[in-house]
């Protein structure tokens, strides 16, 4: 049953179940958050498929101009559509995600579009909004504490200066 994902347990379930991610808005610029997230997810064994009409390849992977073109090249492989775009750009991406048979729409930090989320849920997709896949994965599988920061603290004992 499709739902708006709000609990940590549901996010963990998505991260544990799906491995193929179409990253819409993935930038070739190594200083952009999407680029860093893609590197992390690739290192964790996810299949990240770049979607950006301005790029030919990103991180050595072919880049597709749209979800539709990606689905033509790799039919049935899109599980999660991870969106790094402005909230106003989300509705047509959701329509494409529905059309290509994605299972989850994941909107990154700062990306919230309630109408698009409702449309996706009505079409049978799970939806995560305003969360980063990289941060959520690191939170569940090591590397980050609950507030999303790598504190580097192994012990509560204060170090001497």
Q: What is the CATH number of the domain that holds 72?
A: 3.40.50.720
For residue 157, tell me if it sits in a domain: no
For residue 88, tell me if it sits in a domain: yes
For residue 158, tell me if it sits in a domain: no
pLDDT at 14: 97
Query: What's the domain range around 31?
Result: 8-141
Number of domains comprising the chain: 1
∠ CA 24-39-99, nearest 5°, is 25
pLDDT at 161: 52
Phi-psi label, residue 142: left if phi above 0, alpha if psi -120 to 50, beta otherwise: left
pLDDT at 143: 61
For residue 159, tell me if it sits in a domain: no
Partners of 24 in the β-ladder = 51, 83
CA distance 103 to 98: 8
For residue 117, tell me if it sits in a domain: yes
pLDDT at 146: 47
Q: What is the pLDDT along the chain (161 residues), one digit of tens a residue?
A: 789 999 999 999 999 999 999 999 999 999 999 999 999 999 999 999 999 999 999 999 999 999 999 999 999 999 999 999 999 999 999 999 999 999 999 999 999 999 999 999 999 999 999 999 999 999 898 865 444 445 554 444 454 55
């Amino acid at each position: 049953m499709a739902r708006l994902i709000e609990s940590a347990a549901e996010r963990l379930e998505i991260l544990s179940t799906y491995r193929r991610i179409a990253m819409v808005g993935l930038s070739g610029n190594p200083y952009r958050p999407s680029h860093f997230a893609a590197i992390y997810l690739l290192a964790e064994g996810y299949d990240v498929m770049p979607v950006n009409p301005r790029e030919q390849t990103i991180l050595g992977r072919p880049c597709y101009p749209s979800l539709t073109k990606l689905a033509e090249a790799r039919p049935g492989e899109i599980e999660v559509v991870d969106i790094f775009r402005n909230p106003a750009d989300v509705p047509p991406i959701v329509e494409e995600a529905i059309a290509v048979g994605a299972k989850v729409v994941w909107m990154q930090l700062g990306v919230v579009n309630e109408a698009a989320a409702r449309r996706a849920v009505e079409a049978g997709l799970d939806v995560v909004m305003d969360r980063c896949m990289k941060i959520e994965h690191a939170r569940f599988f090591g590397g980050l504490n609950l507030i999303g920061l790598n504190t580097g603290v192994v012990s509560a004992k204060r170090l001497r200066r």
